Amino acid sequence: MNLIDIETVTKTFAGTSEEVTPLKDLSLRIDEGEFVALMGPSGSGKTTLLNLLAGIDRPTTGAVRVAGEEISSLPPRALARWRTRSIGFVFQGYNLIPVLTAFENVEIPLLLLDLPKVDRRRKVLVALEAVGLSDRAQHLPRQMSGGQQQRVAIARAIVADPRVVLADEPTGNLDRNAATATLRLLQRLNQEFRKTLVMVTHDPAAAEFAKRVVHLDKGRIVDGEHAHA
Structure confidence by residue, pLDDT tens digits, 159-218:
999 999 999 999 988 999 999 999 999 999 999 989 999 999 999 999 999 999 999 998
Structure confidence by residue, pLDDT tens digits, 92-111:
889 999 999 999 999 999 99
Using an 8 Å Cβ cutoff, are 171 and 183 in contact?
yes
Percent of the chain surpassing pLDDT 90: 76
pTM of the model: 0.91
The per-residue pLDDT for 124 is 97
Lowest mean pLDDT across 1-5, 33-37, 114-118, 190-194? 1-5
Quick one: which of 151, 161, 174, 153 has its CA closest to 95? 153
Burial 8-19 (b: 16+ CB within 10 A, else e): ebebeeeeeeee
- The domains of the chain, with CATH numbers, are 34-56+84-223 (3.40.50.300)
